Structure 1
């Protein structure tokens, strides 16, 4: 039987969305307290009693968070148009390399909005 794990992270970042009309508020520089939720799915290690160590997930995420936290996301390579959708994909593709049981990344740019990749 598989278990589903979730771990939450938060970053403070600025961005603007360059492909929007000039009169759209998100076309201007603005900031968000982004919540990042990683969802992993895997088998229980019967000897240890867990699927994966949460500390291991944190270690995988630290270099990625360092690139994103307190930064202008448009200046991060691969995030020139840093929509929540593209941010979720950017994190997923990089974290999956060392977390093969990663299922999805959810980005919340406000408490009322969220985007998940992949579905």
Structure 2
């Protein structure tokens, strides 16, 4: 007689599904809105980590909020447009982590979100291991 290895069924509680994926890029910047004596008014660089967070009330087959592979256009944008650049020279906003997070959320919503299941909930930008800024996208 063979023993069953299947786990017993459980009640599935209601809720929201949430996933996240991290990306990295290297870039420099200076904050032009600061007094000259502030250290961040001088050119400096960071190893940025950007995390996107997506949510869904229901999963798509085979049980995803979205396939992580569907986020490749976002990685391509970071690599092609931001990596090894001076952010204050290319961003249409001041190059703070807060505004970078909001800008990246806008880019994601416009260029990636229309073609994938799930909805962008937040973008977090880390300049260092101990400092970050997070932009939470308002629910529609």
TM over 0.5: yes
* Deviation >3 Å, runs of 4+: none
**Higher Rg:** 2
Query: In the alignment, is the contact (CA less than 8 A) between 1:2 and 1:44 conserved in 2?
Result: no
Moved more, 31-40 or 95-104: 95-104
Q: How does 1:1-119 map to 2 (within 5 A)?
A: 1-42=15-56, 43-45=58-60, 47-79=61-93, 81-97=94-110, 98-99=112-113, 101-118=119-136
Structure 1 Cα separation of the partners of residues 88 and 27 of structure 2? 10
Q: TM-score, normalised by structure 2?
A: 0.78
Count of residues in correspondence between the two structures: 117
Gaps of 5+ in 1: none
- TM-score normalised by L of structure 1: 0.90
In structure 2, runs of 5+ residues without a counterpart are 1-14
Give a deviation string over 1:4-53, Cα, whole Å, max 9, x none. 000000110000000111011100000000110000001211x3221111
* Contact 1:61 1:95 (C-alpha < 8 Å) held by counterparts: no
| Separation in 2, partners of 1:104, 1:89 | 9
